[in-house]
Structures are given as structure tokens and as C-alpha cells.
């Protein structure tokens, strides 16, 4: 039905001329492209590749931990693997895939032709790939003058002074610092681009208060990235200066400060996890309304809560440092800010619940993943509250409880939304639907594996098992839980294989999708699937937050009923 | 298999030859301190010598009570939200056979009253949780140190623990002995001053207290107050390098009498047994003395654990191996085989030299 609506002027229906092209021409096209859609797809493809690498890293770790006193890996190998796993998943998978989707979707959703700075966009992608490759080059790069490892083995947050020369011989810490520093340049470029694009390039009629929530959240995420990445980059520069030019920033034996590394890292690190979760919220904000057949409940509160979370997230960082020996007053302050940030986060969950309430829920694969997200993110947020209670944190910090908590957020929350986003926007990106049956297999297997691993991972944490240990003795009663956790990891791996198979197969053989297979309401569904390189033949004009709803329901358009815009005043 | 005997054996607590009498006396109590008597399935799954939910010390009890309160609050929130969510997706699912299946449901854009309610209620919950938390933070961090408290200086090394008792002039490693505090009217806490010789570490004995990190350039402080005699297990909780996993802690809470006799023994210089003079000579002529100290001899290295009363300890290598003659020989020949990456090099001594050195070491009670 959606395809029959006349969208005058927005879509150019002249068929493209298909000329046969050499494979080399196609490759060249992709390498030199500045088209936000192609760049977005390259981000997604590169991230999926690193996801496989990071996944193999963790499967090896889980084999080692399944039994006490296992000799499957040496301590050096294990420590390198957990360093690479964390670094890869955060910096080379989660950040780029979420910004990659943003790259693809933001200009389409605001009716723009491309990003504000297309060449900066391309540069950002390639510099990310270079930084990631530099860090992985450490596997080949050799041991340095003093022996030690080329591969970083200092943990993904690389606490000083362990990373200093005296305790980390070889160049592992340098690869870590420089690889991420360079990738960070790419993140800043994309963040700048998204900010400029959303502020300056919205189509006619799209005031900020009529932007899709996805775009709002990508804007907020980008501004956060601009503020959060520099402290990390600064700390990495200081570390390299310590290691190679005789500085002593973090060298306590020469009067430097070790704890200041932790402050710098977490001033980046906490906003970073919100930078990861906001795009996931953004996906949920688009998918849940469409498959509940209702507008998002409380749009103005959603915007306010998102902006609020962004600001507050810069005040909570030392809840990662409750055990470093801060004063009671300082600990109290960070408990307060950590609990305060729970309020806008809860508001968002309630708004999603209210969106579903009274709707007509369709259990498509994207919606299944978003429902999983809602349950799991609630749990993750609650274990986060537990971790925010500082004395409880004094037991839970650096234990497997924390590992369970943050994987619950990232995998159970963010990645569930991300999988939903794949199934939801794959038709727009490729013109074909993903297979629903394979999608449901993916969903249920992943739910099974996820819960086997991460529900039960909380227990060894409560039983006193620290993190970042390559083995443990029998007699602590940790072994049975570790075995269950490992089994769940392999179940998740199978689910991911099903997903990748579905992606590839559907690309070639999926059912043709048409412009608007889901009967949705935002501007990207008003153009073809996939969109032409110029997105829209002429600039659209919008009168509400759901322009396609207005076209499909001329008798009750959104602009007569929306809250929180001057439409509300005009309607009265 | 008998659960506690197996566990006790694993931790090197059974069948030790040449142990001082007070360690033997502790053995039955150690079993109880490790886990509940009898090894039911519940015990094997949900208890642990390291469980944060088996507090046996005042700060750990305070944390436990607060954590139970937190679990109740968060549990109630979870039950409420997930019930509503489950209800919503069942009650409001699209039913294809319905008469108006094609019509969109009524579009509700928001509600000021509802949104206000679900802003205010969480704020109230947070106020309560916050105030409870602050009470415990100050209660633990600013607990006034009683005059009779024992003071111990903890120095974290890669990958072992040094413990110094300034009041008694005692230096030991990896196994911390403290007096038990079982009279609530006369608490006898042990205050620990935490420092490092190298990188960051963290002191964590879950049944006794929350963990406190160790950073260079500052002295962190924590306290424990074990209320039952026994052995408490813990380990380093801040990644410190390749053998972070084997930097184990053993805390022995003893009756005041036992503690004083332990101290008295630790204060003595090393046993001088003429029968092992050869072994002592081999020890003193090798590089051992550059890293290790034995009070009363020329060995005064500070890089590795103090060995003056080596045989008063149950384990070697910070919990890596039970402290037996056979294990000492294996360890000295090749520490890397048991703790790969630890900073003690293989000394490449002949078998005869090793045997003589170990014959000397096993006299060091």
C-alpha cells in the first residue's frame, strides 16, 4: 500500500541504466567514494569483520576459563587476548558500526543529499581502518629491543604504570595507544560531520522539534564524542611521552601520578558507554513505534532525557573508581550523580513501554530484538544501580559481576537493538528483505546463548571471582558457572553465524522489498530501496515528526495532534 | 568425596609435616570457615570461600546488609517493569483475525500526569537508596580507629604480598595473621596501610571487607575485623601483569594467645640448625641472598619474600603450591613451570645444591 502513495517530486522513477563494469572499477568506486551510504556500508562491513575477530578472541578465552587450572593458553596469551578483545569490540566494532548506521541514515532521515562534509566522511572511515590495522599489526610487529610482547597485554583500559617502560617491555603499549589514538581521529571527524549535518541540512519544515528521535540521538551522541574522546587522546599522548621521551606523567616512582591515568581514562570511558548506548536507543525509537503501530510516547521527554543523560554522563566517571581510595565525600558525590542518571534512563524505558501499550504489536524480527532489548536493558540498568551503591561496589568492582553487567548492556542492550536495526534497514540498503525464519532462529538462539552466558556470569562475581585472571584454582566453586558461561558463548557464536549467513544469502536471494516494506513513517522510506546516490530528486517538505504518516492518513495527520511543538498551538 | 577435606587439601591444609602446633589446631575450624559444614549441592553451587555473601567481619557485614536492601529495591523495580512489559506485548499484540486489523490504533503522544508520576517516583526511590548508601560509606571509611587496633603495612609486589607489623618489627609474606575480634564490646580491628613496590594492585578478601586498590604515590587505608577464627581467602583484584591471577592472599584470624605466640616466633631470627649448615652455606653463596632476606644471616634482599620463617607458611609462590619439601625443590628448579612469568628466575643449580638448600629451608620455622 505504501508504494502506491504519490510522493510527487521526491522520487525519480526513471530506471537506472545498468552498464557492465569491471570488478576493478567497482572496487575503485568504493575506495574513492564520498557517498555517505557507501561509507556507512563500509563501516558496517569492517565492523562485522572485526566482530568476528573479537568473537574468536573471546571464544579462546572462554575455553581457557571453562576449567580450573587449564593449560589451553599461557598467561601471556590470555592477557593479550582479553586486551585485544575489549579494545576490538569497543573501538573497532561497536563505535564504527553505530556511527556507520548513523552515516547511512541521518542524511536520509532529514531529507538531505549527503553529509555536510563528504570528503571528511571518507577520510574518517579510512583513518579508522588504518588505526585498527595498526593495532593488529602488533601481532606481526615483533618484540622490540627489550623483548616483551608486540601484542598489547595491559587490558583495554591500560592502567598506568603497568603500561610504562619498566613494566611493559616491547611495543605493545605503544600499538595500543597509537592505534586507538588514530582511530579516535576518525570518530571525531564523523561526530563533527553528523553535528554539522543535523544542524544545517534539515529539509524544509523540519525544525529540530520535528527531527526523528534517531537523528536527535545521533546528534547528542556526536556532541558527546567531541567532548569525550580528547581526554583519552591526551592520556595516550602523555603515555607515549612517558615511554619514549622521558616524561613522568604516570611514573609514580618519579613523582608522577598513577591514579590520574584512571581519571583521564574514565572521564572518556563513562561518556563512551553512553556514546555506545544512545545510538541503540535511537534504533529502538524508530523500530518500536512502527511495530506497535503508534507514535512514540512522550517525544519531548525523550529529547530532554537524552540531552540530560548526555550532560550527566560527564559527572559520573569515578563510579569506576570507587575503590581507588577517594574520600567519603568524593565517593558520595559520584554515588549521587550515578543514581541521578538513572532517572532519565528510566523515563526512556517507561516511554517505550507506553508506546507499546494500547498498540498493535507485530512480532517481526526487528521488534523481537527490541523487545529483548527492553527486558535486558532494564536488568542491565538495575545491576548498574547496584554497582553505583559504592560499598556494594567495593565488593563487586573488578569481579565477574561487572563483566556480566557491561556485557548485559552492550550485548543484551546495544547489540540486540543493532541486530533489530540490521533486519529493519537491510531492505532499505539492499532492496531485499532478510529471511524471517532464519531471523527468528538467530533471535532465539542468541537469546538462549546470551542468557546462558551472562545471567550465570553474575554468580562467580558474587562468589568472589576477579576479572582479568587467566586461571583459577578448584575449590572456589567457580568452575561449574564458568563452564556454563563458556557453553553459552558457543551458542551465541552459532547464532551469529546464522545471522551472517542470512545477511549474505538475503543480499542475493532475498524477497524484493520495495520502498516501504514495513509501512513506516520517516523520510528514508519515501525513496527507493536502495536509494539513488542523490537520495531524493527534490528536497522534501515536512509538517510533522512523521511525514509519511501524514501522507498515509490525511484525515488525521500528526501535525494536528503532536505535543511539544508550535503545531500544538496552531491546532488549538 | 568429603567436600571440606577435598577443599582443605586443595588449599594445602592437610597432612603438613613439621607444621607449628597452632596451624594443626586451626584445621577443623578452617574447614568450617571455608564453607558450611556438609557439602550439599547448594553449597557447591552457591557458596564459596570467597563469597561476598558470607561476611565474617564488620565492614563486610555492613556491605552485605546494604547490598541486600539494594537487591530488594532493584528486584521490586525489575518485577514491576518486566511484568508490565510482558503484559503489554501479550495484551496488545496484533491479532490478524480481528475485525479492525487494518486500522491503526489510537495514537497517544504523551500524558503530562503519567510522565510526571514516573519521574517523581524514581526520584523518591533514589533518595532513599542514596541516603542508605551514604550512611555505610561514612560508617566504613570514617570508622574511628580504636587504640587497641593492630596496624599492618601491606606492600603489593608483582606477584606477591609483603606484610610488615611495625609495632612488632615483623616482616612476612603472603599470609597475614591477625587477632580475631569476637567480643563486640572490645572490638579488635586490624588496620591495613596499602602501598605498592611497583604497579597498581588491589587488596580483596571478600568475607572480610570490600576491596581497596593500591596506587603508587599514595597510601590507601582499609580495615578488617574478623569475628571468627579461621582462614579467609582473597587475591589481588587489579590487573598487575602476567601473573596477576596467582597473587593470592591468605588471612589467618587467630585467638589473641595464638596470635601472640605467632608474633613471638616471627620476631626471632632464623633457626640455626648445625645439621643443615652445608645447605645454609650453599644458599648464602648463591644469588638467593640478593632477593630474599633471612634474619640473622647475610641474606637481606628485599625484592622477594622474606624467608626467615618460611616454614610457618602453608603455601609458596603466593598461593601457587602447598609448602612442602618436594614443592620447594620443584619451585626453585623452575618457578616458571608453576607460575609462568613470575619474577623469580630459575637458578640453574645442580640437583645436589637444590637438595641441600631445601634441606636448609625446611628448618626455617
For the domain that residue A388 is a member of, what is the CATH number? 1.20.210.10
Contact B242 A76 (CB under 8 A): yes
In whole angstroms, give the CA distance from residue A535 to residue A565. Answer: 27
* Domain presence at residue B195: yes
Contact A258 B216 (CB under 8 A): yes
pLDDT at B7: 42
- Cα distances (angstroms) measured from residue A552 to each of A520, A522, A527, A556, B281: 10, 12, 15, 9, 96
Question: A464 — contact with chain B (CB < 8 Å)?
Answer: yes
Q: Which of A185, A177, A331 minimizes the C-alpha distance to A265?
A: A177
* Domain presence at residue B78: yes
pLDDT at B23: 34
| DSSP tag of B312 | G
Our count of domains for chain A comes to 1
CATH number at residue B249: 2.60.40.420
Asked if residue B237 has a cis previous peptide bond (ω within 30° of 0), the answer is no
Regarding whether B132 and B168 lie in a shared domain, the answer is yes
Within the 316-355 window of chain B, which residues sit less than 8 Å (CB to CB) from chain A? 319, 340-341
pLDDT at A141: 77
Would you write out chain A's pLDDT as a tens digit for each of its 572 residues?
344 444 555 566 666 666 778 889 999 999 999 999 999 999 999 999 999 999 999 999 999 999 999 999 999 999 999 999 999 999 999 999 999 999 999 999 999 999 999 999 999 999 999 999 999 999 987 666 666 668 999 999 999 999 999 899 889 999 999 999 999 999 999 999 999 999 999 999 999 999 999 999 999 999 999 999 999 999 999 999 999 999 999 999 899 999 999 999 999 999 999 999 999 999 999 999 999 999 999 999 999 999 999 999 999 999 999 999 999 999 999 999 999 999 999 999 999 999 999 999 999 999 999 999 999 999 999 999 999 999 999 999 999 999 999 999 999 999 999 999 999 999 999 999 999 999 999 999 999 999 999 999 999 999 999 999 999 999 999 999 999 999 999 999 999 999 999 999 999 999 999 999 999 999 999 999 999 999 999 999 999 999 999 999 999 999 888 876 655 555 44
Contact B105 A346 (CB under 8 A): no
The CA dihedral of B342, B347, B353, B358, to the nearest 10 degrees, is: -10
From B203, B229, B257, give the residue that closes a domain: B257
Instruction: Tell me the three state secondary structure of residue B176.
Output: strand
Contact A75 B340 (CB under 8 A): yes
Domain boundaries, position A119:
30-571
* Domain presence at residue A315: yes
* Domain presence at residue A525: yes
Asked if residue B159 has a cis previous peptide bond (ω within 30° of 0), the answer is yes
Question: A293 — contact with chain B (CB < 8 Å)?
Answer: yes
Phi, psi of B254 (to 5 degrees): -125, 160
Which residues of chain B does A353 touch, with a Cβ-Cβ cutoff of 8 Å?
81, 84-85, 88
Q: Is the dihedral of CA A343, A349, A353, A354 positive or negative?
A: positive
Question: A162 — contact with chain B (CB < 8 Å)?
Answer: yes
* Domain presence at residue A130: yes
* Domain presence at residue A21: no
pLDDT at B1: 31
Q: Which of B198, B201, B192, B217 minimizes the C-alpha distance to B302?
A: B198
Regarding whether B184 and B156 lie in a shared domain, the answer is yes
Instruction: Tell me the three state secondary structure of residue A171.
Output: coil
Regarding whether B332 and B311 lie in a shared domain, the answer is yes
pLDDT at A112: 97
Instruction: Tell me the three state secondary structure of residue B53.
Output: coil
Residue of A nearest to B338 (CA): A69
Residue of A nearest to B6 (CA): A475
Domain boundaries, position B308:
274-361
Which residues of chain A does B321 touch, with a Cβ-Cβ cutoff of 8 Å?
none
Question: B245 — contact with chain A (CB < 8 Å)?
Answer: yes
Regarding whether B52 and B40 lie in a shared domain, the answer is no
Question: B99 — contact with chain A (CB < 8 Å)?
Answer: no
Our count of domains for chain B comes to 3
Regarding whether B59 and B170 lie in a shared domain, the answer is yes
Regarding whether B8 and B82 lie in a shared domain, the answer is no
Which strands, in side-by-side order, build the sheet including B150-157? B170-173, B160-165, B150-157, B190-196, B220-224
pLDDT mean for each 10 residues of chain B (365 residues): 38 34 34 52 93 97 98 98 98 84 89 96 98 98 96 98 98 97 94 97 98 97 97 97 97 97 97 95 94 95 96 96 97 96 93 96 97
Which residues of chain A does B7 touch, with a Cβ-Cβ cutoff of 8 Å?
475
Please list, in sequence order, all residues whose beta carbon lies within 8 angstroms of the beta carbon of residue B107, skipping any fewer than 6 positions away.
A294, A295, A556, A558, A561
In whole angstroms, give the CA distance from residue A515 to residue B89. Answer: 28
In whole angstroms, give the CA distance from residue B299 to residue B289. Answer: 4
Please list, in sequence order, all residues whose beta carbon lies within 8 angstroms of the beta carbon of residue A281, skipping any fewer than 6 positions away.
A217, A306, A348, A417
Amino acid at each position: 500500500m505504501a508504494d502506491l502513495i504519490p510522493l510527487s517530486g521526491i522520487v525519480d522513477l526513471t530506471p537506472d541504466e545498468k552498464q557492465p563494469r569491471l570488478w576493478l572499477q567497482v572496487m575503485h568506486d568504493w575506495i574513492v567514494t564520498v557517498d555517505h551510504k557507501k561509507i556507512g556500508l563500509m563501516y558496517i562491513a569492517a565492523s562485522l569483520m572485526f566482530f568476528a575477530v573479537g568473537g574468536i578472541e573471546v571464544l579462546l578465552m572462554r575455553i581457557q576459563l571453562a576449567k580450573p587450572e587449564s593449560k589451553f593458553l599461557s598467561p601471556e596469551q590470555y592477557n593479550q587476548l582479553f586486551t585485544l578483545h575489549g579494545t576490538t569490540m569497543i573501538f573497532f566494532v561497536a563505535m564504527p558500526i553505530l556511527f556507520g548506521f548513523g552515516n547511512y541514515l541521518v542524511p536520509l532521515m532529514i531529507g538531505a543529499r549527503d553529509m555536510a562534509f563528504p570528503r571528511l566522511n571518507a577520510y574518517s572511515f579510512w583513518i579508522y581502518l588504518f588505526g585498527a590495522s595498526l593495532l593488529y599489526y602488533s601481532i606481526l610487529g615483533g618484540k622490540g629491543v627489550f623483548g616483551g610482547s608486540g601484542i598489547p597485554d595491559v587490558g583495554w583500559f591500560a592502567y598506568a604504570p603497568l603500561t610504562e617502560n619498566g613494566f611493559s617491555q616491547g611495543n605493545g603499549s605503544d600499538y595500543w595507544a597509537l592505534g586507538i589514538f588514530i582511530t579516535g581521529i576518525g570518530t571525531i571527524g564523523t561526530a563533527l560531520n553528523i553535528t554539522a549535518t543535523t544542524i544545517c541540512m534539515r529539509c524544509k519544515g523540519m525544525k529540530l522539534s520535528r527531527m526523528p528521535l534517531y537523528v536527535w540521538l545521533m546528534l547528542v551522541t556526536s556532541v558527546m564524542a567531541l567532548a569525550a574522546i580528547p581526554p583519552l587522546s591526551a592520556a595516550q599522548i602523555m603515555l607515549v611521552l612517558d615511554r619514549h621521551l622521558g616524561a613522568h606523567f604516570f611514573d609514580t616512582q618519579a613523582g608522577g601520578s598513577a591514579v590520574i591515568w584512571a581519571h583521564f581514562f574514565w572521564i572518556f570511558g563513562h561518556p563512551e558507554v553512553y556514546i555506545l548506548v544512545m545510538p541503540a536507543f535511537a534504533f529502538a525509537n524508530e523500530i518500536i513505534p512502527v511495530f506497535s503501530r503508534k507514535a512514540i510516547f512522550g517525544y519531548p521527554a525523550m529529547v530532554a532525557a537524552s540531552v540530560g543523560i548526555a550532560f550527566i554522563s560527564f559527572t559520573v566517571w569515578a563510579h569506576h573508581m570507587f575503590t581507588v581510595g577517594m574520600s567519603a565525600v568524593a565517593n558520595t558525590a559520584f554515588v549521587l550523580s550515578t543514581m541521578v542518571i538513572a532517572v532519565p534512563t528510566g523515563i526512556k524505558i517507561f516511554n517505550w513501554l507506553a508506546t507499546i501499550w494500547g498498540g498493535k504489536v507485530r512480532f517481526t524480527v526487528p521488534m523481537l530484538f527490541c523487545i529483548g532489548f527492553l527486558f535486558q536493558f532494564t536488568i542491565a540498568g538495575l545491576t548498574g544501580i547496584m554497582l553505583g551503591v559504592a560499598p556494594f561496589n567495593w565488593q563487586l568492582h573488578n569481579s565477574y559481576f561487572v563483566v556480566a553487567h557491561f556485557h548485559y548492556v552492550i550485548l543484551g542492550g546495544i547489540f540486540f537493538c543493532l541486530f533489530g536495526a540490521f533486519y529493519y534497514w537491510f531492505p532499505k540498503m539492499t532492496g531485499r528483505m532478510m529471511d524471517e525464519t532464519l531471523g527468528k532462529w538467530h533471535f532465539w538462539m542468541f537469546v538462549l546463548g546470551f542468557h546462558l552466558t551472562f545471567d550465570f556470569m553474575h554468580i562467580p562475581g558474587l562468589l568472589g571471582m576477579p576479572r582479568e585472571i587467566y586461571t583459577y584454582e578448584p575449590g572456589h566453586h567457580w568452575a561449574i558457572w564458568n563452564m556454563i558461561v563458556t557453553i553459552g558463548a558457543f551458542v551465541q557464536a552459532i547464532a551469529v553465524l546464522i545471522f551472517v549467513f542470512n545477511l549474505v544469502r538475503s543480499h542475493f536471494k532475498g524477497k524484493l522489498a520495495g520502498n516501504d516494506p514495513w509501512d513506516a513513517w520517516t523520510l528514508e522510506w519515501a525513496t527507493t530501496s536502495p536509494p539513488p546516490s542523490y537520495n531524493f530528486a527534490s528536497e522534501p517538505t515536512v509538517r510533522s515528526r512523521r511525514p509519511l504518516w501524514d501522507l498515509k492518513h490525511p484525515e488525521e495527520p500528526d501535525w494536528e495532534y503532536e505535543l511539544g511543538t508550535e503545531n500544538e498551538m496552531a491546532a488549538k | 568425596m568429603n567436600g571440606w577435606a577435598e577443599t582443605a587439601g586443595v588449599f594445602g591444609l592437610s597432612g603438613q609435616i613439621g607444621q607449628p602446633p597452632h596451624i594443626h589446631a586451626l584445621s577443623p575450624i578452617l574447614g568450617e570457615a571455608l564453607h558450611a559444614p556438609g557439602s550439599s549441592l547448594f553449597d557447591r553451587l552457591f557458596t564459596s570461600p570467597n563469597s561476598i555473601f558470607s561476611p565474617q567481619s564488620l565492614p563486610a557485614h555492613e556491605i552485605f546488609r546494604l547490598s541486600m536492601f539494594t537487591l530488594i529495591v532493584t528486584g521490586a523495580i525489575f518485577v514491576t517493569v518486566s511484568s508490565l512489559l510482558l503484559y503489554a506485548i501479550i495484551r496488545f499484540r496484533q491479532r490478524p483475525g480481528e475485525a479492525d486489523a487494518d486500522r491503526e490504533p489510537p495514537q497517544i503522544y504523551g500524558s503530562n500526569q503519567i510522565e510526571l508520576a514516573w519521574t517523581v517516583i524514581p526520584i523518591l526511590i533514589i533518595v532513599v537508596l542514596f541516603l542508605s548508601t551514604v550512611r555505610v560509606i561514612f560508617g566504613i571509611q570514617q570508622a574511628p580507629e580504636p587504640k587497641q587496633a593492630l596496624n599492618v603495612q601491606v606492600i603489593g609486589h608483582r606477584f606477591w604480598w609483603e606484610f610488615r607489623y611495625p609495632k612488632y618489627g615483623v616482616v612476612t609474606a603472603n599470609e597475614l595473621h591477625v587477632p580475631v575480634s569476637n567480643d563486640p564490646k572490645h572490638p579488635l580491628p586490624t588496620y591495613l596501610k596499602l602501598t605498592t613496590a611497583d604497579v597498581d594492585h588491589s587488596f580483596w578478601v571478600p568475607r572480610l571487607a570490600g576491596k581497596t586498590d593500591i596506587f603508587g604515590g599514595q597510601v590507601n587505608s582499609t580495615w578488617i575485623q574478623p569475628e571468627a577464627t579461621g582462614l579467609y581467602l582473597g587475591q589481588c583484584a587489579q590487573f598487575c601483569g602476567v601473573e596477576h591471577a596467582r597473587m593470592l592472599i591468605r588471612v589467618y584470624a587467630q585467638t589473641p594467645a595464638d596470635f601472640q605466640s605467632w608474633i613471638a616466633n616471627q620476631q626471632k631470627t632464623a633457626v640455626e640448625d648445625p645439621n643443615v649448615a652445608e645447605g645454609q652455606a650453599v644458599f648464602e653463596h648463591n644469588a638467593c641472598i640478593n632477593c630474599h632476606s633471612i634474619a640473622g644471616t647475610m641474606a637481606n634482599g628485599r625484592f622477594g619474600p622474606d624467608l626467615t620463617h618460611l616454614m610457618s607458611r602453608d603455601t609458596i609462590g603466593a598461593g601457587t603450591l602447598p609448602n612442602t619439601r618436594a614443592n620447594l625443590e620443584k619451585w626453585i628448579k623452575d618457578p616458571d613451570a608453576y607460575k609462568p612469568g613470575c619474577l623469580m628466575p630459575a637458578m640453574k643449580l645442580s640437583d645436589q645444591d637444590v637438595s641441600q638448600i631445601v634441606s636448609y629451608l625446611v628448618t626455617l620455622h
